[in-house]
């Protein structure tokens, strides 16, 4: 069945901007795309051949997606486990597979997997009640960062615990749900690496990106990041260990902390295309979206070296209203997601500003 020939259909669970850019890349290679999203007017649906408007765990919607698609992929990791089981029962091939999603959905499972695969993280402890939260903070030491094990994104669902005495209150404030307690990472920079693994087990790794967040949300990415060859080699090794350890197919985003001594720790993995990889759309011959489509379709992976230095800036909320000014900037490549409603903080688009490689 693989490689899928042009004319095949790629199913995607989720119809946000990542699904939209995946659909655009897929269509360039001659594929049709089927999007499943609960919202009728979603960004990806408007550029796709087929749109299924149901909940993510709707049995009929998933059966329809399985019927239409030669392979099903995802634009987010918090896909209900029931949805994956239904897709599998309907005979759909999914890429990445259920294990990668399960690992990425739970911060404790994720760090346990990473350490088992020989990849370093901060020290951590799990807790599922106020008593064990106190014990976990005692073990890790305060200050510590407490995060919900599941469903966190963009810095939501986490808080600093300054003293052991504050552990139980922090646990309750996070909703009384199972948490992870993390040691602080004394990072000098936040980096990320986007990598892909094909169906033949081959791996392709993009240059590192340097990321700047504001209020937990990615603001800017600079890529390729200026790093020593040792750090670049370390990132490649980390990506390869993760991809092989998950028997992964597709693109993955790996968020990293760079420590003062030059060591890299993994913060988290995203089993999908990633906001810190948007620079590749204008900085590389084959961007992360096409790379993902190539991987899941069983095509050869494309080149990953940079053709330019890129500063990627997210356009949040009303910032996207400046589209005419941005479009007039000669070195700026504008990407808008077609979202109708510019709610404050919402990711509406991004702009890649190019400079020559030094």
Residue with smaller CB distance to ligand AMP, 100 or 145: 145
- Decide: is 145 part of the binding site for ligand AMP (CB under 6 A): yes
Of positions 141, 155, 176, 202, contacts ligand AMP by CB under 6 A: 155
Residue with smaller CB distance to ligand AMP, 214 or 247: 214
Q: How far is the CB of 75 from ligand AMP (least distance, A)?
A: 18
Mark 236-275 as b/e (b = at least 16 C-beta within 10 Å): bebbeebbebbebbbbbbbbbbbeeeeebbbbbbbbbbbb
Of positions 9, 17, 105, 267, contacts ligand AMP by CB under 6 A: 267
Report the alpha-carbon distance of residue 196 to residue 206 in Å, rounded: 9
Q: How far is the CB of 146 from ligand AMP (least distance, A)?
A: 10
Q: How far is the CB of 184 from ligand AMP (least distance, A)?
A: 4
Q: Per CB under 6 A, which of residues 185..224 are in contact with ligand AMP?
A: 185, 190, 213, 216
- Decide: is 59 part of the binding site for ligand AMP (CB under 6 A): no
- Decide: is 114 part of the binding site for ligand AMP (CB under 6 A): no
Q: How far is the CB of 134 from ligand AMP (least distance, A)?
A: 19
Q: How far is the CB of 111 from ligand AMP (least distance, A)?
A: 10
Q: Per CB under 6 A, which of residues 118..137 are in contact with ligand AMP?
A: 122
Q: How far is the CB of 171 from ligand AMP (least distance, A)?
A: 17
- Decide: is 268 part of the binding site for ligand AMP (CB under 6 A): yes
Name the β-bridge partners of 252.
195
Q: How far is the CB of 322 from ligand AMP (least distance, A)?
A: 26
Q: How far is the CB of 67 from ligand AMP (least distance, A)?
A: 36
User: Roughly what angle, to the nearest 10 degrees, separates helices 17-28 and 288-296?
Assistant: 70
Q: Which stretch binds ligand AMP (CB under 6 A): 69-77, 179-187, 238-246, 275-283?
A: 179-187
Please state whether beta strands 203-205 and 187-197 pair in parallel, antiparallel, or not at all (unpaired): antiparallel
- Decide: is 182 part of the binding site for ligand AMP (CB under 6 A): yes
Residue with smaller CB distance to ligand AMP, 19 or 152: 152
Size of the site for ligand AMP (CB under 6 A): 13
Q: Which stretch binds ligand AMP (CB under 6 A): 93-101, 181-189, 280-288, 336-344?
A: 181-189
Residue with smaller CB distance to ligand AMP, 145 or 251: 145
Q: How far is the CB of 324 from ligand AMP (least distance, A)?
A: 32
3-state secondary structure the chain: CCCCCCCCEEEEECCCHHHHHHHHHHHHCCCEEEEECCCCCCCCHHHCCEEECCCCCCHHHHHHHHHHCCEEEECCCCCCHHHHHHHHHCCCCECCCHHHHHHHHCHHHHHHHHHHCCCCCCCEEEECCHHHHHHHHHHHCCCEEEEECCCCCCCCCEEEECCHHHHHHHHHHCCCCCEEEECCCCEEEEEEEEEEECCCCCEEECCCEEEEEECCEEEEEEECCCCCHHHHHHHHHHHHHHHHHCCCCEEEEEEEEEECCCCEEEEEEECCCCHHHCCHHHHECCCHHHHHHHHHCCCCCCCCCECCEEEEEEEEHHHHHHHHHHHHCCCEEEEECCCCCCCCCCEEEEEEEEECCC
Q: Which stretch binds ligand AMP (CB under 6 A): 19-27, 69-77, 180-188, 318-326?
A: 180-188
Name the β-bridge partners of 264.
258
Of positions 184, 245, 302, 317, contacts ligand AMP by CB under 6 A: 184
> Which residues sit at the interface with ligand AMP, rule CB under 6 A?
122, 145, 152, 155, 182, 184-185, 190, 213, 216, 255, 267-268
């Amino acid at each position: 069945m693989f490689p899928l020939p042009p004319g095949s259909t790629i199913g995607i669970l989720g119809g946000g901007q990542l699904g939209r850019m995946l659909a655009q890349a897929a269509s360039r290679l001659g594929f049709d795309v089927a999007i499943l999203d609960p919202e009728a007017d979603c960004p990806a649906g408007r550029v796709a051949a087929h749109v299924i408007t149901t909940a993510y765990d709707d049995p009929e919607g998933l059966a329809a997606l399985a019927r239409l698609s030669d392979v099903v992929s995802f634009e987010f990791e918090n896909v209900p486990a029931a949805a994956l089981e239904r897709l599998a029962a309907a005979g759909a091939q999914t890429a990445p597979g259920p294990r990668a999603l399960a690992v990425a959905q739970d911060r404790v499972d994720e760090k346990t997997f990473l350490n088992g695969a020989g990849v370093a993280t901060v020290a951590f402890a799990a807790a599922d009640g106020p008593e064990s939260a106190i014990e976990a903070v005692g073990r890790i030491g305060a200050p510590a960062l407490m995060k919900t094990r599941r469903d966190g994104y963009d810095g939501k669902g986490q808080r600093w615990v300054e003293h052991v005495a504050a552990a139980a209150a922090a646990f309750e404030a996070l909703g009384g749900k199972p948490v992870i307690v993390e040691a602080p990472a004394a990072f000098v920079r936040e980096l990320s690496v986007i990598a892909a693994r094909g169906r033949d087990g081959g791996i392709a790794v993009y240059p590192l990106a340097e990321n700047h967040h504001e209020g937990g949300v990615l603001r800017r990415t600079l890529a390729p990041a200026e790093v020593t060859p040792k750090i670049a080699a370390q990132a490649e090794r980390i990506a390869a260990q993760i991809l092989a350890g998950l028997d992964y197919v597709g693109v993955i985003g790996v968020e990293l902390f760079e420590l003062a001594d030059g060591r890299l720790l993994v913060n988290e993995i995203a089993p999908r295309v990633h906001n810190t990889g948007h620079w590749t759309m204008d900085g590389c011959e084959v961007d992360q979206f096409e790379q993902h489509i190539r991987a899941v379709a069983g095509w050869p992976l494309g080149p990953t070296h940079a053709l330019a230095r890129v500063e990627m800036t997210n356009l949040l909320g009303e910032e996207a209203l400046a589209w005419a000014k941005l479009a007039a900037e000669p070195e700026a490549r504008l990407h808008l997601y077609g979202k109708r409603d510019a709610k404050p903080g919402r990711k509406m688009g991004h702009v890649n500003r190019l400079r020559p490689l030094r």
